[in-house]
């Protein structure tokens, strides 16, 4: 079993739709959870960062973490064509000299159609 | 702020040659830099962690003699793929961690380098 599982999609939605992206994980040591957006042939860009369980909202984006289920989600409200990209979840355990190494999911390719 | 550049953005080389990729933090100092490899439709896989002034730490299964990493200054790390083979063709991405901010979210990623080995 991989440490982080993410459905690669592709996911295609109409403009204005609510998008739900998810990842599951198996390592209970993960405490830091991030979502990155990666446009084609570009490096990842940090969207959301959450520590431990709970919700975090930033504009049209909401990140949820459920540590009891080892499940994290990213919701995008009022999706726009410019949101079309690959979304990667990433996780990290506490330091202890680990340099906060990131473990990524495969990424979900999202297309928002005008 | 927090811009990371990579050079070159794309390189094509013949099998058996060596290729050097540079990663620079343009407007901040980075004691720690990371090198990732991403195959098509696959996740970013950490190859090594590079600390300025010391030897890089390689992940399991990554050949340190094949992927040479040098982190000579607080703003520059280089990855040299030695004796490249077609199976080394991939998208190589670096990230740099803001010095003095040891948190998971303070890694800033470069735009990546597409390596194609013929």
Report the chain A residue with the minimal C-alpha distance to residue B50.
A99
First to last CA, chain B: 37
Could you tell me if B69 and B48 are in contact, meaning their C-beta atoms sit under 8 angstroms apart? yes
pLDDT of residue A1: 65
CA-closest candidate to residue A74, choices A58, A51, A94, A98: A58
pLDDT of B41 reads 80
Interatomic CA distance for residues A101 and A16, integer angstroms: 35
pLDDT score, position B26:
92
What three-state secondary structure class fits A78? Answer: coil
Distance from CA of B53 to the nearest CA of A (A): 16
pLDDT at A8: 84
Q: Is the dihedral of CA A55, A58, A59, A63 positive or negative?
A: negative
pLDDT at residue number A96: 53
pLDDT profile of chain B (118 residues), mean per 10 = 91 96 92 91 90 89 94 92 96 88 78 96
Q: Do A100 and B111 touch (CB under 8 A)?
A: no
Torsion of CA A76, B108, A105, A49, to 10 degrees: -50
Distance from CA of A26 to the nearest CA of B (A): 16
pLDDT in tens, A43-102: 999 999 988 788 999 999 999 999 999 999 999 999 999 999 999 999 988 665 556 788
User: pLDDT: is A13 or A100 the higher one?
Assistant: A13
Cβ distance of B49 and A99 shorter than 8 Å: yes
Instruction: Check if B111 contacts A (Cβ < 8 Å).
Output: yes
Better-scored residue on pLDDT, A52 or A15 = A15
Residue with tokens 């200054």: B73
Q: How far apart are the first and last CA of chain A?
A: 37
Testing the interface with A: which of B2, B104, B116 to mutate, by most A Cβ within 10 A?
B104
The residue ranges of DSSP E strands in chain A, in sequence order, are 4-6, 11-14, 19-25, 30-38, 45-51, 54-58, 61-66, 71-76, 85-93, 103-104, 108-113
Interchain contact, B93 vs A8, CB within 8 Å:
no
Structure tokens at B66: 């094949």
Closest residue to B44, CB basis, from A32, A46, A104: A104
Q: Which residues of A touch B45 (CB under 8 A)?
A: 104
Task: Write out chain A residues lying below 8 Å of B114, CB-based.
Answer: 41
pLDDT of residue B107: 86
Which chain B residues contact residue A49 at CB under 8 A?
Answer: 104-105
User: Which whole number is the average pLDDT over A6-11?
Assistant: 90
């Amino acid at each position: 079993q991989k440490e982080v599982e993410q459905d690669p999609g592709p996911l295609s939605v109409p403009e204005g739709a609510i998008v739900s992206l998810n990842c599951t994980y198996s390592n209970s040591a993960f405490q830091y959870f991030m979502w990155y957006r990666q446009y084609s042939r570009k490096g990842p860009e940090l969207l959301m960062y959450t520590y431990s369980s709970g919700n975090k909202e930033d504009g049209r984006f909401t990140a949820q973490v459920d540590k009891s289920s080892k499940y994290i989600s990213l919701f995008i409200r009022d999706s726009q064509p410019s949101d079309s990209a690959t979304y990667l979840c990433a996780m990290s355990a506490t330091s202890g000299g680990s340099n906060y190494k990131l473990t990524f999911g495969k990424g979900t390719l999202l297309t928002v159609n005008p | 702020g927090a811009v990371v550049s990579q050079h070159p953005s794309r390189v094509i080389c013949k099998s058996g040659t060596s290729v050097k990729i540079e990663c620079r933090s343009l407007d901040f100092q980075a004691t720690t830099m990371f090198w990732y490899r991403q195959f098509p439709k696959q996740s970013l896989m950490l190859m090594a962690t590079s600390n300025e002034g010391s030897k890089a730490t390689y992940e399991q299964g990554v050949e340190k003699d094949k992927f040479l990493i040098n982190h000579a200054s607080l703003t520059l790390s280089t990855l040299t793929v030695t004796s490249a083979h077609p199976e080394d063709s991939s998208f190589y991405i670096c990230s740099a961690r803001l010095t003095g901010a040891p948190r998971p979210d303070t890694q800033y990623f470069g735009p990546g380098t597409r390596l194609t080995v013929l």
